[in-house]
């Protein structure tokens, strides 16, 4: 394993940021850390980076010592740079500090600035960069030295669509070459698209980890029905419908939304939808919209983190 | 020049900030040159030069580092495969050069007016600038916000001025700070070297390097 965590616990005052996290991440694996705000994702990344020590438990990240630090690239959740220096000079400082020789650093940085569409701005002071450009620069600085351990805190924030695709490609290439990639995200679809495996956190605890497809299968549902109603209803009678696995409900603006996770054994999805709509109508509900879709990672997220609209 | 190290980065940043550079050189000159050329007791310009060294070193270094900690740059540098001690040494060296250069003009004027340059003045001046910047690093290592950092820096500057005997003589304390040696050599006070200012500056510098892992957010002994 490239990274092994055993019962890692971290307190900030009276808040338990990490609660007995045990996790293994393999070489060449892309792991997505998913969870609500404040669930401990960023803290975990910093513990793995050895920026903050755990209060309990162990983090093994061989090889130990300076070689490990040399082989780590990290994107932080902030966009700190040397403001008076140009983007290229910032990236140069980090590339050289990570031990790259000048020629290799120049070639690598040139390629990365090009890939992220920053080539024309590489000679401009960072003080004139937008937020998105600063994020791109942070990614360039984290990846330039080809680290064997890549830690990214919410890497897609501030990135345009093209940059997200570029980043995904770079991370997949790095993983193919044996790098271990661990990233945190609030974007469930990003985790589903990019990660080989997802680790779901809530309140510092690791709730579940696995391949996105396996986590989706673990819900037990093969179809998700989303209904939008004009007003709230009692959803308990819907649970009596054969095939219904779980029901979530939440108020949305002036309306009300119901999500039904179901395995329509013997029934087609359309028939099941009709039964659900009929049951809603029997409760006095007025359906203004309905969707039938396959379950996805967002449903897993909501189910495990206790979201109101999650399938239980 | 591209920054290959923190030392180079500090030099480049300061040289590129034309307005900041102008004020860094103009302010000490504007404050000290009238004192030096006026018909005043020599102790006044000597005090002014020593205070300028303490202020620019302690305040400049500590506030610079507190800002870097607040904006996250220290955290980023803690990830580098470079020891905190080496980073800190580069930072102190760069700021020593810059502070030394900005006070060198008033110092040269002082020496021109009041006495010939002596090796003791050079040694005590360099020692005081190094010590002031190292003291600034120690102050910055104390946890706290930017506001607290300013407060700690001001308190340290005031304490250093008072304990160095620049306000009134402090016979039991002044010899323990390298700033008094600068003051004393500027006044050509005989027999002012019971302790070497180099040794005292080295002690403060060493202390700054020892605590530097805390500055960069790493516990001492955690290794790169």
What are the tens digits of pLDDT across the range B171-189? 888 888 999 999 999 988 7
Q: What is the pLDDT of residue A63?
A: 59
Confidence bin at B103 (pLDDT 50/70/90): very high
A242 CB-near residues (< 8 Å, 6+ apart):
A265, A267
Contacts of A94 in chain B (CB under 8 A): 76, 80
What's the number of domains chain B is made of? 1
In this prediction, residue B195 has a pLDDT band, given cuts at 50, 70 and 90, of low
Q: How many CA atoms lie within 13 A of A106 on its CB side?
A: 5
Contact A70 B81 (CB under 8 A): yes
Predicted pLDDT at A311: 38
What is the C-alpha to C-alpha distance for residues A280 and A241, in angstroms, rounded to an integer?
A: 11
Contact criterion met (CB < 8 Å) for A80 and B219: no
CA distance to partner chain A, nearest, from residue B5 (Å): 7
Using only the alpha carbons of chain B, give its radius of gyration.
Answer: 17
pLDDT, tens only, B145-181:
888 889 999 999 999 999 998 888 888 888 889 999 9
Q: Is A89 on the interface with B (CB under 8 A)?
A: yes
The reply to whether residue A69 touches residue B79, judged by beta carbons under 8 angstroms, is yes
Taking the C-alpha atoms of residue A95 and residue B81, their distance in angstroms, rounded to an integer, is 11
Give A78→chain B minimum CA distance, Å.
7
Are the Cβ atoms of A84 and B16 closer than 8 angstroms? yes
Same fold, A3-217 and A222-294: no
Each of the 312 residues of chain A gets a pLDDT tens digit; together they read 789 999 999 999 899 999 999 999 999 999 999 998 889 999 999 999 989 999 999 998 765 444 444 589 999 998 999 999 999 999 999 999 999 999 999 999 999 999 999 999 999 999 999 999 999 999 999 999 999 999 999 999 999 999 999 999 999 999 999 999 999 998 888 888 899 999 999 999 999 999 988 888 887 777 888 899 988 888 888 888 888 888 888 887 778 889 888 886 667 788 888 889 999 999 888 999 988 888 888 888 888 886 543 333
**Using an 8 Å Cβ cutoff, are B167 and B142 in contact?**
no
Interchain contact, B80 vs A94, CB within 8 Å? yes
Q: Which of A82, A99, A141, A143 to mutate to test the interface with B (most CBs of B within 10 A)?
A: A82
Please give, rounded to a whole number of angstroms, the shortest distance from the CA of B30 to a CA of chain A: 27
Classified as helix, coil or strand, A243 is coil
The closest CB to that of B79, out of A67, A72, A99, belongs to: A72
The residue in chain A having the minimum alpha-carbon distance to the alpha carbon of residue B17 is A84
B132, B99 contact by CB (below 8 A): yes
Is this complex scored with an ipTM above 0.95? no
Whether B49 shows a pLDDT value over 70: the answer reads: yes
d(CA A172, CA A245): 36
pLDDT, mean of residues B200-205: 94
Q: What residues does each domain of chain A span?
A: 3-217, 222-294
B221 in a domain, yes or no? no
| Cα(A53)–Cα(A43) distance, integer angstroms | 10
Looking at beta carbons, which residues of chain B come within 8 Å of A97?
Answer: 4-5, 77, 80-82
- Cα–Cα distances (Å) from A152 to A89, A141, A142, A224, in that order, read 22, 11, 8, 32
* Residue A266: per-residue pLDDT: 64
- pLDDT value at position B220? 37
- Pair A285, A229: CB distance under 8 Å: yes
Mutate to test the interface with A, among B75, B79, B84 (most CBs of A within 10 A): B79
Using CA coordinates, name the residue in chain B closest to A88. Answer: B2
The more confidently predicted of residues A272 and B58 is B58
CB-CB under 8 Å, A49 with B79: yes
| CATH no. for A3-217 | 3.40.50.300
A81 neighbourhood in chain B, CB within 8 Å: 73
Q: Please check whether residue A12 touches B, CB under 8 A.
A: no
Distance, in Å, from the CA atom of B18 to the CA atom of B11, rounded to the nearest integer, reads 12
Other CB atoms within 10 A of residue B191 CB: 6
Nearest chain B Cα distance for residue A84, angstroms: 6
In whole angstroms, what is the distance from residue A208 CA to residue A206 CA? Answer: 6
Query: In which band, very low, low, confident or very high, does the pLDDT at B191 lie, cut at 50, 70 and 90?
Result: low
Q: Does A52 touch chain B (CB under 8 A)?
A: yes
Bridge-based pairing state of the strands A180-185 and A149-153: parallel
Residue A183 in 3-state DSSP? strand
State the smallest CA–CA distance between residue A163 and chain B in angstroms: 22
CA torsion sign for A215, A184, A173, B81 is negative
B222 located within any domain: no
Q: Which of these ranges, A13-22, A129-138, B18-27, B112-121, has the smallest mean pLDDT?
A: B112-121
A222-294 domain in CATH 3.20.20.450?
A: no
User: B79–A80: do the CB atoms touch at under 8 Å?
Assistant: no
Taking an 8 Å cut-off on Cβ atoms, the answer to whether B224 and A66 are in contact is yes
Q: Which of B76, B84, B85 to mutate to test the interface with A (most CBs of A within 10 A)?
A: B76
Domain that holds residue B45: 6-215
Distance of CA B153 to CAs A97, B23, B49, B150, Å? 30, 20, 18, 5
Predicted local confidence at residue B219, as pLDDT: 39
Token pair, residue A241, equals 């419908």
Taking the C-alpha atoms of residue B32 and residue B12, their distance in angstroms, rounded to an integer, is: 27
Given an 8 Å threshold on Cβ–Cβ distance, is B3 in contact with A85? yes
Q: How far is B129 from chain A (nearest CA, A)?
A: 25
The residue of chain A with its CA nearest to that of B224 is A66
């Amino acid at each position: 394993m490239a990274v092994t965590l055993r019962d890692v616990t971290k307190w900030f005052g009276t808040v338990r940021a990490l609660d007995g996290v045990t996790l293994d991440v393999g070489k060449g694996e892309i792991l997505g850390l998913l969870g609500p705000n404040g669930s401990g994702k960023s803290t975990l990344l910093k513990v793995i980076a050895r920026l903050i020590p755990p209060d309990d438990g162990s983090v093994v990240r061989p090889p130990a010592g300076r070689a490990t630090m040399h082989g780590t690239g990290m994107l932080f959740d902030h966009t700190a740079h040397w403001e008076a220096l140009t983007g290229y000079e910032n990236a140069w400082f980090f590339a050289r500090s990570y031990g790259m020789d000048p020629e290799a650093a120049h070639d690598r940085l040139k390629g990365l600035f090009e890939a992220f569409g920053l080539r024309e701005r590489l000679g401009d002071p960072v003080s004139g960069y937008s937020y998105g450009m600063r994020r791109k620069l942070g990614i360039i600085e984290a990846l330039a030295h080809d680290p064997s351990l890549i830690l990214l805190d919410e890497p897609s924030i501030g990135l345009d669509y093209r940059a997200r695709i570029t980043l995904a490609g770079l991370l997949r290439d790095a993983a193919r070459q044996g790098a271990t990639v661990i990233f945190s995200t609030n974007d469930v679809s990003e985790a589903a698209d990019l990660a080989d495996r997802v680790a779901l956190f809530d309140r510092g605890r690791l709730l579940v980890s696995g391949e996105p497809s396996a986590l989706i299968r673990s819900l037990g549902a093969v179809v998700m029905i989303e209904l939008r109603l004009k007003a709230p209803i009692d959803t308990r009678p819907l649970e009596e419908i054969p095939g219904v696995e779980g029901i979530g409900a939440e108020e949305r603006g002036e309306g009300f939304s119901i999500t039904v996770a179901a395995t329509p054994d013997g029934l087609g999805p359309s028939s099941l939808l009709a039964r659900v709509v009929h049951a809603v109508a029997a409760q006095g509900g007025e359906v203004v919209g309905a969707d039938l879709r396959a379950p996805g990672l967002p449903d897993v997220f909501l189910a495990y983190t206790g979201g109101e609209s999650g399938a239980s | 020049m591209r920054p290959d190290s923190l030392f180079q980065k500090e030099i480049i940043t300061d040289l590129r900030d034309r307005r900041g550079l102008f004020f860094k050189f103009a302010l000490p000159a504007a404050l000290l040159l009238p004192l030096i050329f006026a018909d005043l007791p020599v102790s006044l310009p000597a005090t002014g030069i020593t205070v300028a060294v303490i202020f620019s070193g302690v305040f400049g270094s500590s506030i610079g580092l507190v800002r870097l900690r607040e904006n996250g740059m220290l955290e980023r540098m803690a990830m580098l495969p470079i020891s905190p001690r080496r980073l800190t040494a580069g930072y102190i060296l760069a700021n020593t050069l810059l502070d030394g250069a900005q006070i060198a003009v008033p110092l040269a004027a002082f020496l021109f007016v009041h006495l010939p340059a002596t090796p003791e003045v050079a040694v005590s001046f360099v020692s005081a600038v190094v010590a002031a910047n190292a003291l600034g690093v120690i102050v910055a290592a104390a946890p706290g916000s930017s506001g607290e950092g300013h407060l700690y820096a001001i308190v340290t500057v005031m304490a250093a001025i008072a304990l160095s005997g620049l306000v009134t003589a402090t016979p039991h304390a002044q010899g323990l700070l390298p700033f008094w040696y600068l003051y004393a050599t500027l006044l050509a006070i005989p027999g002012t070297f019971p302790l070497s200012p180099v040794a005292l500056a080295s002690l403060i510098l060493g202390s700054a390097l020892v605590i530097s892992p805390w500055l960069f957010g790493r516990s001492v002994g955690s290794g790169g």
